[in-house]
Amino acid sequence: MDVEDIEQLNEEIKNPVSNIKPLRGFEIIAESMVYMVYDIFGRNLLLSILYQMGAGPGYQIAERLKREYGKENFEIIELIKIFMKELKDYYSIQITTIEESEEKLRIIIENHCFLRDPIKHRERLKFGKAFCRVNKGYFETAFKALLGDKIKHIEINFLENDPDKDVCIEELVFKF
């Protein structure tokens, strides 16, 4: 090929960098990773890996917040406010219900998180399933590290997908 042929070829295959959609690539890789680990190692190991992928950054934000706020223990509602301020690029939540008893505090939220669009765009990824364990690991780890001894156990559970509102309905259960 001579220079003119190469120039013509380059013109035909030219794709401006502005056309590249990195999140679409992430979606493909994420879906592939979930199902490759599942196929090779099984469901339990997959769920554990995804949980730990979230737990690492959850621990990091907890340590950073302790330093920034100069304290080790926070209140639950205070912490939700701080998280939503700190994580506004990744999460949008609305609290719909708060139920409190002597044994626990249960908060129902509508959550639109950074994983929502990738899950919507990939056929095999489903709301509330394996990939969502990243968020579960993140928030359970961070809450545990920042709430101290006043909480014995925390669970974050998917309840349902609400496609009309474009959110997942989830519960945060803090057991005293």
Residue spans per domain, the chain: 3-175
Q: What is the pLDDT of residues 93-145, one digit of tens each?
A: 999 999 999 999 999 999 999 889 888 888 888 888 888 899 999 999 999 99
The model's pTM is: 0.84
Virtual torsion, Cα 50, 27, 35, 90, nearest 10 deg: 20
The class (CATH top level) of 3-175 is alpha beta
pLDDT at 27 over 90: no
The token duo for 27 is 């979606």
124 is written with which tokens?
């095999």
Edge-to-edge strands of the sheet including 153-162?
A: 91-100, 104-113, 167-175, 153-162
